[in-house]
Amino acid sequence: MKQFLLCLSLFVSVYSQAAMDTLRPKSRVSQVTVFFNGAQVTRAIELKLSPGSHFVLIESLPQEINANSIQVSSVNNCKILSVKHHVEQSNVFAPVNEKEINAKIKTQELKIKAIKNKQNVYEIEERILLDNSMLSKKEEGSSVAKLKEAGDFYRLRLNEIKQAKLDLSVELDAAEEKIKELYLQMNQTVSKKRLPSSSILITLDAERETNTVMNLSYYISSAGWEPNYDFRLEDISKPMQVVYNANVFQSSGENWENASLRLSTVDPSLSADKPQLEPWILGSSNVNTPLAKRREAGSIEGSLVDAATQEFLGNANVILQMGNKIMASGLTNAQGKFSFKPVPVGNYNIIFTYMGFQTINQNISVNANFTTNQTFYMQANTIAMREQPVPTFQQPVFVPQDNYAAGYRDVYGSNAPMSAGAYEGTVKNSNAEVTRVRTKKSKQPKQVEQKQVEENKPLVLDELYSSLKETLSDIEYSISLPYSIPSDGQDHVIRVKEMSIPARFVYHAVPKLETDVFLIAEIANWQQLKLLSGKASVYFEGTFTGQSYINSELSGDTLEISVGRDKDIVVKREGNKMLNDKKTSGNTVKETIAWDVSIKNNKKTPIVLVLEDQYPISQRKSVEVELLESSEAKVDKNTGELIWEMKVEAGEKKTITTKFSVKYPKQSGVVTD
């Protein structure tokens, strides 16, 4: 009786499972929150449910999804019973016309074999003719008629053989090319389906008939964004325009089509746990270890080429793996190019598979803040189409993002609640260049009034592109317009916002080192701009003048941006021979040196100019230096620096004179130039 009841219960269970509908609704990426490292992807799923239990299967998702990060939003009139993540070990689907294409390939292969058989026969016949081409020699020799007859025969037959072999060679090339075309046709159909993927199975219990939209979100690591700025200045009488841009990139294997984007400074890879001090006992190693820092990353890009024809191979599968873990996957584009970004520092295997070609499996290294660029060559294989198994994927370690819904159990059978305020983002720049941006403290040389720009004028914000959300430690920009970001690892520029900011424009000149004059934009209280570390392109009067780097960790309260050189301001430094003098008294020499610096403003507007020069300082008691004339410069006696800040009217010319004396022993040979 017990066995009967057990069998009956198993039958009812199996029957109830079989009776549940398995829905495969279409889903689309509706929203993505992109972090500096990684992204949280949200998919919208339209559901039409009848009362009862249902399986909802979402397929063709990135394989790198972390199961602990999966979140399913609550659904009206439904209970979420379970959420399971499944990694596809092999996801190779044959195209609809696979049999037809394979039949054509088989026909061409048989044709190749027949052509090669004919070529072999002609080779044998040609060898037999050549081996028997010597006429038998008799004492009286061969008659002229026989020689003519033999010559005609050999000539005609050998010509026929040579022409036949040439025709067969052309047919062979055509057949091999046809096989390549057939493989290409099949590869274009299959390639996207061969990418490593995963699926999520959701079990729902609907109380009544329901039409609703369910949101599914998950975290991927192969995405990120970098700040980028444009500083534009048309005229020093106008405010400076600052354009906030973001370079967004991803290589997850799925495309984000018309998705709503959010750019966040949160770094989910950093732990939110406070470090715990352990007892430090002298004489033993310190057990305290620092918190984990963000992993340095680089990028990989390159091309895939047919080794024989040197043609680029498009729609080829590319897999990047470390050990048995797949880190990224994708396809080459129509030009055979591919790109993965970001890629953590380390050694990888990069695998290329393409129907009709031999698989490439090659080691490749990734260095921090560096792009590894390489061209790969594939050898054609026209004998048979070989399927390549997809390597097993292992889940990466992930610290969950906040605001995830609880109330369901994941594939591992544990809840995945998300703690609010769990992260503290840090900003660290890569590929730092020689900076043309710096900050300075509020202490400045003598100020000259400049009426064109009011420093205390409020900032003018243009919120056309995004809105700003700021927490205690993080910033998040919500982009107003939807964007499409393909899975190609390339930078896609997104306009975040524009700002019109007041600045004080000051010309700087160091004529002892450089004859050109440099325009510097000084931005006070720049911290309120919420600038993040990143590259900045500078444009002056519509012309690109160079690239700078913004370091958000600078502590000064004034941000200085070098706008560029201005040829309309002419500054020259020349020695004043009339004031120069040299006297000798016993063993002592006293030299007097004078320099004239002329300034000419050829612009139609007045300018503020900061002029820098110097006089020598002595670290020996036997050498005495005295500054005789400084033209009211600000003097630093410790460094010998002379600074003038002046207003130069339009068309005005000024001359600044400095004079100093150096007294030294005759035998010391002091150089005073």
Strand blocks (E) in 526-623: 534-540, 543-550, 558-566, 569-575, 581-585, 588-601, 607-614
475 part of a folded domain: yes
3-state secondary structure of 156: helix
Average pLDDT over residues 66-94: 79
169/112 Cα distance (integer angstroms): 10
Q: What is the CATH number of the domain that holds 652?
A: 2.60.40
Average pLDDT over residues 342-369: 86
360 part of a folded domain: yes
Q: What is the CATH number of the domain that holds 318?
A: 2.60.40.10
Return the pLDDT at 315. 78
**Partners of 591 in the beta sheet?**
582, 662
Side chain identity, residue 313 = L
Q: What is the mean pLDDT of the chain?
A: 77
Q: Among 534, 567, 600, which residue terminates a domain?
A: 567
In DSSP notation, 70-87 reads -EE---TTEEEEEEEEEE
Over residues 210-251, the pLDDT tens digits come to 888 899 999 998 899 999 999 998 888 888 889 999 999 998
Return the pLDDT at 179. 78
Taking every pair of Cα atoms in the chain, the longest distance, rounded to a whole number of angstroms, is: 131
The half-sphere exposure of 574 on its side-chain side, counting CA atoms within 13 A, is: 8
Strand blocks (E) in 426-533: 437-440, 460-462, 466-470, 475-479, 483-485, 492-501, 504-509, 517-524
503 part of a folded domain: yes
Average pLDDT over residues 415-429: 32
Average pLDDT over residues 642-657: 93
519 part of a folded domain: yes
- Other CB atoms within a 10 A radius of the CB of residue 542 amount to 8
* Alpha-helical runs (H) found in 338-420: none
CA angle 301, 302, 307 (to 5 degrees): 160
pLDDT of 575 above 80: yes
pLDDT over 90 for what percent of the chain?
23
595 and 491 assigned to the same domain: no
32/571 Cα distance (integer angstroms): 53
pLDDT of 134 above 90: no
3-state secondary structure of 339: strand
480 and 583 assigned to the same domain: no
128 and 241 assigned to the same domain: no
282/73 Cα distance (integer angstroms): 53
Most confident by average pLDDT, 85-99, 227-241, 540-554: 227-241
560 and 583 assigned to the same domain: no
Side chain identity, residue 319 = I
536/436 Cα distance (integer angstroms): 9
54 part of a folded domain: no
499 and 527 assigned to the same domain: yes
243 and 333 assigned to the same domain: no
The pairs formed by 392-397 with CB atoms below 8 angstroms and a separation of 24 or more are 392/89, 392/324, 393/63, 393/64, 393/87, 393/196, 393/198, 393/324, 393/325, 393/326, 394/324, 394/325, 395/66, 395/67, 395/87, 396/64, 396/66, 396/221, 396/325
Q: Among 512, 536, 567, which residue terminates a domain?
A: 567
- Other CB atoms within a 10 A radius of the CB of residue 567 amount to 8
For 210-224, 406-420, 611-625, which range has the lowest pLDDT when averaged over its residues? 406-420
260 and 307 assigned to the same domain: no
pLDDT of 572 above 90: yes
List the end-to-end C-alpha distance of the chain, in Å, as a whole number: 114
Q: Which residues contact 618 (CB under 8 A, 6 or more apart)?
A: 624, 625, 662
Query: Residue 39's pLDDT band (boundaries 50, 70, 90)?
Result: very high
Query: Residue 462's pLDDT band (boundaries 50, 70, 90)?
Result: very low
User: What are the distances in angstroms from CA 385 to CA 102, 183, 353, 390, 645?
Assistant: 9, 8, 11, 16, 77
509 part of a folded domain: yes
367 and 333 assigned to the same domain: yes
Residue 366 and residue 298 in contact, taking contact as beta carbons nearer than 8 Å = yes
313 part of a folded domain: yes
DSSP state of 649: -
Average pLDDT over residues 93-120: 76
* Backbone dihedral angles phi then psi of residue 595, each to the nearest 5 degrees: -130, 140
Element (H, E) at 168: helix 144-190
547 and 584 assigned to the same domain: no
**Partners of 168 in the beta sheet?**
none
* Backbone dihedral angles phi then psi of residue 2, each to the nearest 5 degrees: -65, -40
pLDDT of 94 above 50: no
513 and 604 assigned to the same domain: no
Residues of the domain holding 466: 226-265+427-567
549 and 628 assigned to the same domain: no
Crossing angle, helix 98-131 and helix 144-190, to 10 degrees?
Answer: 160
Total residue length of the chain: 673
Query: Residue 532's pLDDT band (boundaries 50, 70, 90)?
Result: confident
Q: Among 567, 584, 602, which residue terminates a domain?
A: 567
Return the pLDDT at 189. 60
The half-sphere exposure of 409 on its side-chain side, counting CA atoms within 13 A, is: 4
* Parallel, antiparallel or unpaired: strands 240-250 and 466-470: unpaired
Domains in the chain, number: 4
558 and 585 assigned to the same domain: no
420 part of a folded domain: no
Higher pLDDT, 392 or 263: 263
